[in-house]
Every structure is written in structure tokens, then in C-alpha cells.
Amino acid sequence: MKDFIEQQIQSQSLSFNTDNFLGLSNTENSLIVIECSLIDYSLTDIARIVESNNAHVMNLFVLPIVDGNTLLISIKLNLIDVSPVLMSLERFNYKIVYYLMKEGVVTDTHKERLDELLYYLDM
């Protein structure tokens, strides 16, 4: 999937290279790439989800995919461990395509607990 992201970026802009897209500065400790439909895209909703997890958006890049109805959204955050943000985005039906963080890992236990909670809430 990383190759696909790099290919999409290269096809959209000549001056923007993939190292700038995937590289992290000192203030940007993590990167999340999500996929959503053009109809469902709301920057305010994404920012609300991120900020509700005590994170700040340091950089955001929106890239339309070839079909025109789907967007790839790159979000650089100031958090070291973005596990809570990933779980919140999944809870609100955003598809996580790629993520990179300097430290921390989303464990299977966390994922199982979240799935159990969502199952319980649906009852």
C-alpha cells in the first residue's frame, strides 16, 4: 500500500516528493493515512476526533485517488503513540491505510477490547 501512496503522490505533484510526505520532523512524531469517500469527508470531524485524543494536527494533506470518489488523507500528529487516535478513527468508520509512529504499537489486545466494547454497545 505504501507504493500505491507514493505513486499517487508522484502523479499529483512534481514539486512535492514522497520523502516530504512520509518524513517526520521534530514536532511531527507520527503519521496516519486514512481513506474515505468524498461524500463522507469532513475536516472538522477528523480534527475533532484527533483533538479529542489530546493530539494536534501538525500537517494535513488530502489526495484524491484516481476514481475521483475516494480520498487519501495524510495526518501528521504531535503524539508519539497514536493508538488512541487510530482506535477513535476506526470507531467512526475511517479506514486506516497506513500509520507510522516513533514509539508505541496498537496491540491485538487493544483491538479485541475495542471490538468487544462495540459489540456490547450494539446489543
Distances (CA, A) of 54 to 34, 67, 118: 19, 34, 22
pLDDT at 52 over 90: yes
Average model confidence (pLDDT) for the chain?
Answer: 78
Pick the range with the lowest mean pLDDT from 10-19, 58-67, 77-86, 106-115: 10-19
**Count: domains in the chain:** 1
The rounded distance, in Å, linking the Cα atoms of 120 and 69 is 33
55: domain CATH number is 3.30.70.260
11: exposed, middle or buried (Cβ count in 10 Å: 0-12, 13-18, 19+): exposed
Write out the residue range of the structural domain in which residue 23 sits.
Answer: 2-122
Share of the chain above pLDDT 70, in %: 69
* pLDDT band at residue 54 using 50, 70 and 90 as cut-offs: very high
Which pLDDT value is given to residue 24? 47
Higher pLDDT, 118 or 105: 118
Higher pLDDT, 56 or 8: 56
Which pLDDT value is given to residue 76? 87
pLDDT at 89 over 90: yes
